[in-house]
Each structure stands twice: as C-alpha cells, then as structure tokens.
C-alpha cells in the first residue's frame, strides 16, 4: 500500500503536463472551418522556429500600412527596400530576457506562463522571407484587412494614439518591441495568438493550438 501511494505521489507532477499535451493533440486537430482561399490576392506567411510562430505580412497592402504604426528610422539595419514585417506576440519578460535559448531559465518560463505580466509585439522589418520554416497562403483584400485589424488591436497606444516602442530593448538593428495588449498564459500562448489572427482572416485553423507545430500543420506546404 505504501509503495502505491509513493508511486502515485511521484507520478502526480507528471499528470498536468500529460493532460495538457493530450488536450493540445486533440483540440489542435479539431477544425474551425474557414473561407475558401483565393488563387490570387495578398500573400502572407506564417513562420516558425519550432517553438514560436510569427506572421509575415506585407509592409503595405489593402489600405493597411505598417508605416503608420512604426517608424522605419527605428530599424536602421532593415534597408530602404524592406517590404515585409515579421510580427509575433508574447510575454514581455520572456522575450526580452531570452534572446537565445541558452538564456532560458525555469523561473523565467514559469513566470511567463503564470505571471500574467505585460505583453509585447515583436516586429522585424525585412525584405522577403526570413531564414526559417515559413508557410504561405493568399488572402483576398477583405480577409487581409480583418487579419490586419486583429494585429493592430494588439498594439497599445499612448494618449496621442501612437504605438509604444520599447526603445533600447531590440535584439538588433532590424527589430523593435512594442507594448501590447493581453497576457500570456498556458491557454493563450503566442501560437494561439497566431491562430486567432488567422481565424480572424477566415483561415481554417485548429480549435486550440498552444504549440508551433499545431499551427503549422494546417497550412499549405508549398508556395
């Protein structure tokens, strides 16, 4: 009897992550229907580093222009020919303190998951696609404007209506962090945020996609 209690006690910490993984495996495969994608229109991408997903969006399209939200002068390494933005949402402390995976600490990951701290949008200004796993799809103008409105609503603004860049906290000369709405949690992860953006555009998604692979598996493989 004591041995059984000991086994149960040792196994108890493993139960929540196992249930979380099982829920993700099931719900990420539960489809939320979307709209038919056009053959021609505005190309967007979803890019993954295996853990986190970003949206790859045109700098300007369908009446939506990122230059009204960001100052290109804040991206001196991007070049005058930059035509795309790579946008991701997440926990501010995790983003700013984890520039490389070697910087990851258990306490920081725990605070990001459960601390409910402030969030940021991470914006790269670039030309073309980044050197990562990207999937591409085409949206019509109305669908793209809905996606853009979702992303825009995540940006916090000051009393003058201007976005709030976090100066001095960028990774390099082509990126900038901006104060964002919402709080990271085990339910509302960075990858679920990407899925919600795609869903706003009428793209078919999984019901709940906490992991990067959950987002990517439903997207077209080619260009």
Residue with tokens 């021609």: 40
Domain membership flag for residue 182 = yes
Cα–Cα distance for residue pair 120/95, rounded to 1 Å: 8
φ, ψ for residue 140, nearest 5 deg: -80, 170
Predicted pLDDT of residue 81: 94
What is the CA angle 54-59-62, rounded to 5? 105
Q: Tokens for 70, please give them.
A: 């960001």
Taking CA 34 as the corner, what is the angle to CA 32 and CA 40, rounded to the nearest 5 degrees? 150
Confidence at residue 223, expressed as pLDDT on a 0 to 100 scale: 60
Question: Domain for residue 26, yes or no?
Answer: no
Residues of the chain under the 70 pLDDT cut:
1-17, 98-115, 222-223
Q: Does some domain include residue 153?
A: yes
Residue 19 within any structural domain of the chain: no
pLDDT number for residue 14 = 54
- Is 84 within the bounds of a domain? yes
pLDDT tens digits for range 180-207? 999 998 899 999 999 999 999 999 999 9
Residue 83 in any domain: the answer is: yes
Tell whether the torsion through CA atoms of 21, 49, 82 and 44 is positive or negative: negative
Residue 148: which domain range?
A: 37-216
- Residue bearing tokens 């306490």: 107
- What per-residue confidence (pLDDT) applies to 8? 45
Helix (H, G, I), strand (E, B) or coil at 74: helix
Cα(209)–Cα(201) distance, rounded to whole angstroms?
Answer: 16
> Domain for residue 222, yes or no?
no
pLDDT in tens, 96-110: 776 555 554 555 555
Instruction: Quote the pLDDT of residue 7.
Output: 43
pTM check: above 0.85: yes
Number of domains in the chain: 1
Residue 50 forms part of a structural domain: yes
């Amino acid at each position: 009897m004591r041995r059984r209690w000991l086994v149960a006690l040792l196994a108890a910490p493993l139960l929540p992550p196992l249930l979380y993984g099982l829920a993700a495996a099931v719900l990420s495969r539960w489809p939320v229907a979307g709209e038919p994608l056009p053959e021609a229109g505005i190309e967007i991408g979803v890019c993954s580093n295996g853990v986190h997903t970003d949206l790859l969006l045109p700098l300007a399209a369908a009446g939506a222009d990122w230059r009204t939200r960001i100052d290109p002068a804040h991206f001196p390494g991007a070049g005058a020919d930059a035509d795309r933005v790579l946008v991701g949402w997440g926990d501010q402390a995790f983003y700013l303190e984890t520039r490389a995976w070697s910087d990851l600490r258990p306490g920081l990951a725990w605070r990001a998951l459960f601390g409910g701290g402030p969030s940021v949008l991470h914006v790269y200004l670039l030309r073309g696609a980044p050197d990562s796993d990207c999937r591409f799809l085409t949206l019509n103008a109305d669908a793209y404007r809905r996606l853009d409105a979702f992303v825009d609503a995540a940006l916090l603004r000051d009393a003058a209506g201007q976005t709030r860049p976090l100066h001095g906290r960028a990774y390099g000369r082509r990126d900038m962090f901006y104060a964002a709405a919402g709080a990271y949690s085990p339910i509302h992860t960075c990858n679920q945020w990407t899925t919600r953006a795609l869903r706003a555009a009428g793209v078919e998604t999984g019901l709940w996609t906490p992991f990067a692979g959950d987002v990517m598996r439903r997207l077209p493989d080619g260009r």
